[in-house]
Amino acid sequence: MSRVFRGAVTVAGLIVLWQVIVLVSGAPPYLLPGPIETFTALVTRSGLIAGHALVTLSEILGGLVLGTLLGAGSAVVIAMFRPARRWLLPILVTSQAIPVFAIAPLLVLWLGYGMASKIGMATLIIYFPVASSFLDGLRRTETRWIDLAHTMTGGPRARPFAVLRHVRLPAALPAFASGLRVAAAVAPIGAVVGEWVGSGAGLGYLMLRANARVQTDLMFAALLALAALAVALYFLVDFALRKAIPWQPDTLPDLDP
Cβ–Cβ < 8 Å for 176, 130: yes
State the nearest-atom distance from the C-beta of 143 to another protein, in Å: 10
State the nearest-atom distance from the C-beta of 155 to another protein, in Å: 5
Instruction: For another protein, give the closer residue by CB, 166 or 209.
Output: 166
Sign of CA dihedral 155, 160, 163, 166: negative
Q: How far lies 202's CA from each of 93, 193, 213, in Å?
A: 31, 11, 17
State the nearest-atom distance from the C-beta of 146 to another protein, in Å: 9
Instruction: For another protein, give the closer residue by CB, 42 or 163.
Output: 163
Instruction: For another protein, give the closer residue by CB, 158 or 214.
Output: 158
Instruction: For another protein, give the closer residue by CB, 29 or 170.
Output: 170
State the nearest-atom distance from the C-beta of 137 to another protein, in Å: 13
Close Cβ partners of 9 (under 8 Å, ≥ 6 residues apart): none
Pick the closest to residue 187 from 56, 71, 70 (CA basis).
56
CA angle 172, 177, 182 (to 5 degrees): 130
Cβ–Cβ < 8 Å for 49, 42: yes
Length of the chain: 257
Q: Provide Rg for the chain, Cα atoms.
A: 22
State the nearest-atom distance from the C-beta of 128 to another protein, in Å: 26
Cβ–Cβ < 8 Å for 76, 175: no
State the nearest-atom distance from the C-beta of 196 to another protein, in Å: 42
Binding footprint of another protein on the chain (CB under 8 A)? 142, 144-145, 147-156, 158-159, 162-163, 166-167, 170-171, 173, 245, 247
Instruction: For another protein, give the closer residue by CB, 99 or 257.
Output: 257
Instruction: For another protein, give the closer residue by CB, 45 or 168.
Output: 168
